[in-house]
Chain A
Amino acid sequence: MNDFRGQTLSWQIVNGAIELALHRDPCNEIGSLTLEELERFAAALPGLANEAQALIVHSTLKAGFSAGADLRELFQRGEEMEKGAALRGVREFLKRIHSVMNTLDAAPLTTIAAVHGVTFGGGFELALVCDIIIADRMARFCFPELRLGLIPGFGGIPRLKRDLGNAVVRDLLLTGRSFNVMKAQQIGLVSQIAAEGEALRVARATASQVGKFDRRTAATAKEFVKPIPYAELDREIDIFCDLYSRPAVEDGLRKFVENEGVQPYLP
């Protein structure tokens, strides 16, 4: 299937690059529906990869790339289910999203995240699976999970550890602070900064450039320089589930979900 228009995301091949567009209001929160459509994309990827030299992941929403996991859905599922069943549901969700992320991480073509605005939590983790991050000047990154009594659960810590220095990882994780593109480029996370509204255009130019090289060579080079930390990714799921079982998490999620004020995204 070379093109798809879903409720949360769409894809098509444009000038030899697969463009995966996220478009779930208000800011591409990743819940069960997004997961189902991401799984659909992951299943279609081998066929798409035969006809494209690059994959660009971007958002069509003004608010940003993605605000991360759908915390409202996570909270509501926890409220509706018996605790054991809720925990099993969380573990199952994490295994499924990890499978998608691992597929994207190992995709045999060059992958580019074109991000702008809010790139938080699970959205940040989606960007991290890509080979290259191109960020709009107004992009902002954050791992806010510790505010909820959790750690990132979509593979964020192992991939940050793979890509960045450990001191930087500790700062970002343990403070839960958000940071801008200048910082992101300084620490080696972002490879190119685009003017406001220009990230997708820059990503397309980059996709065109990588398309000049032999596909097999590019895929081999990628596999050589980008190991996937499978053991740590599995460990992350276990740690997340251990933490999720604690009452503090339910309290943190409730506080976020029931916050009707103007500052839910500020620490």
Chain B
Amino acid sequence: MPATDHTLDQILDLAATHFRVPREKLSADDDFFKTLGIDSLQALDLLTRLEHHFRIELPDYELQGVSDFRTLANRIQARL
């Protein structure tokens, strides 16, 4: 399910705030591991924050192979 711009914006805002990266440096098709400089444990931290923010449950296996914000947003949109 394609994510709405609103969902994508919220993800980028949250990632920028928590990982202290300027918001303008983040875009939908960025590899979030590289752009945020995070490893898998920090990715799980991001996942937890997103689950709390959107009040959803997103099993981590749905993130297998996912590394860009747009696909992440699509996975979240499918749970909203």
Contact = CB atoms under 8 A, between A and B. Distances in A.
Interface string B32-50: 0100001111011101110
Main secondary structure of the interface of B (DSSP, over half): helix
Given A140-B48, A182-B51, A182-B52, A177 B60 contact: yes
A228 interface: no
Contacts of B44: 118, 140, 178, 265-266
Interface in A239-267: 262-267
B33 A262 contact: yes
B59 A266 contact: no
A230 B28 CA distance: 52
Nearest to A177: B59
A178 B43 CA distance: 12
A138 B64 CA distance: 21
A118 B40 CA distance: 11
Interface of A: 27, 63-64, 67, 117-118, 137-138, 140, 142, 175-180, 182-183, 262-267
B57 interface: yes
Contact of A180 (B39, B40, B48, B63): B48
Contact of A266 (B48, B49, B57, B64): B64
B40 A138 contact: no
A137, A142, A180 — which one has the most chain B CB atoms within 10 A of its CB? A180
A264 B38 CA distance: 12
B48 A138 contact: yes
A67 B41 CA distance: 10
Given A137-B52, A180-B51, A262 B59 contact: no
